[in-house]
Each structure stands twice: as C-alpha cells, then as structure tokens.
Amino acid sequence: KIFTLSLKKDSMNSRGYGVPRDNRASYHESSGQNETLERDVQFLNCCFDDIEKFVARLQAAAEAYKQLESRRHERQQHRKKHDKGPPKQDGMLSMRARPPPADDFIDIFQKIKWAFNLLAKLKAHIHDPNAPELVHFIFTPLSLIYEASRDPVHQGVDLASKAVSPLLTREAKELLLNCLTSKELELWQVLGRNWTTSEDEYPGHVEAFHPRFYNGWTPSPPAVARDTRQFPSPRDPPENG
C-alpha cells in the first residue's frame, strides 16, 4: 500500500528564507512503520514551522531597529535646527528592536539539529524535493539565525555551541558531509564540535532533547528518543506511545 505524507515546507519570507510548502512524500512501508513515519514528518513540520516563526521574529526586530535608527537620526537633525524640546521616548520600539533572548536562540538551534536527524532518517522516503535539497533550504535560515545570534546584546556568548543536545546521528552527519556546498560546509564547521560530532563520536553524557514547539506541543520523551533511531524491521512489533 502506498501512503502519502504531506511534508510541509514554506518560503519563510520574500527573500526565500526557509523551505517550500506542500511537498508530497510517498513511500512503501509495513504497517508497523507507517505510524513512525507519520510522527517523524509531523515532528519535522513542527521544526519547519518554528524556524519560520523565529526568522519572522528576527525580521520584525530588524525592521524595528531600522525605524528606531531613523527616528534617532531625525531627532538629531531637529535638535540641530531647533535645539529645544525633550527627546521623544522610544521604549516600545526599543523593546521590539531587541533580538530574541539567548535561550530562544539555543532552542531554535536545537530544533535545526533535530531536523537534520529527521531528514537523515526520512531520506529514503521523501522525494521532490529530497532530503539533501531540504538540507540546503534549512541552511539559508540557519545562516541568518547564526549571524543574529552574534548580536552584541548577547555579550559575545557563542549561542550555537550551547545547543549540545540533540547530537547529530551518524546518518545525519553523513548526509551533511555528502550534500553540503563549500559555503554550507564552512558554516557547519564554524558552528563547532557540538554540531560536527555525531552521537557515537561524542565523549561523555549528553542530556536528552525535549522539544517544546511554539504551538504548545511537547512530544513525549520516549517518542523523541525513538525518533533518532532506525526504523524497526517489519518483523518487530510497533512500539506503543
């Protein structure tokens, strides 16, 4: 039986930050794997949605900052001419112009890493676009988010390196190594060892990843843990939960 999943991708804005929407992924699988695949695609779609929303926040902050700078310039010009009157307050605009807090950057970095793991797991089941093409799409907002994370407001903290969990699976690392362009590879390496070291290469213990999506959904820890592993064989009974 052929099952068709909707793998949602979206252009995040007019500049093309993100992934195209309304892709279809067809696959032939045993019934024990169908539920797992559907869940994985749902996880991946939620990651895409949160990346899109986070980029929208960055763009809103950038636009507010632009307006703030324009107002400040206009007031400077006005004072030169009139040299009187109290300065206008820009409290709300200043707040809107601030980038997201550090924890929000770390959260979205973790979801991007998880998306790579999901793509590696689903790569045999998604087509037009395929997993490597989706990796390229993700690297566009990843570059934007990484640059925004280096805003001076974060006092030089490397927020990308703080996203330790989830570590990439061996399959995800192989996927990236086999499909990244030279420019994407350079960015991936800049992100640091917590991005380039797979879970079977990483020394020591790493806390489990427990995502919470912007829509309020928090998948159960067992479901997330199973997600990074290979599909069960058709002879194995499907896991519950």
Phi, psi (rounded to 5 degrees) for 74: -65, -40
The dihedral built from the CA positions of residue 6, 48, 192 and 166, taken in this order, carries a sign that is negative
| pLDDT above 90 (res 50) | yes
* Mean of pLDDT values over 22-29: 42
pLDDT in tens, 199-224: 999 998 898 999 999 999 998 876 67
**Mean pLDDT, rounded, for 24-44:** 68
pLDDT tens string 129-152? 899 999 999 999 999 999 999 988
Q: What pLDDT sits at residue 10?
A: 41
pLDDT tens per residue across span 89-116: 566 666 666 879 999 999 999 999 999 9
Contact 189, 173 (CB under 8 A): no
- Quote the pLDDT of residue 98: 80
Return the DSSP state at 154. G
Percent of the chain with pLDDT over 70: 66
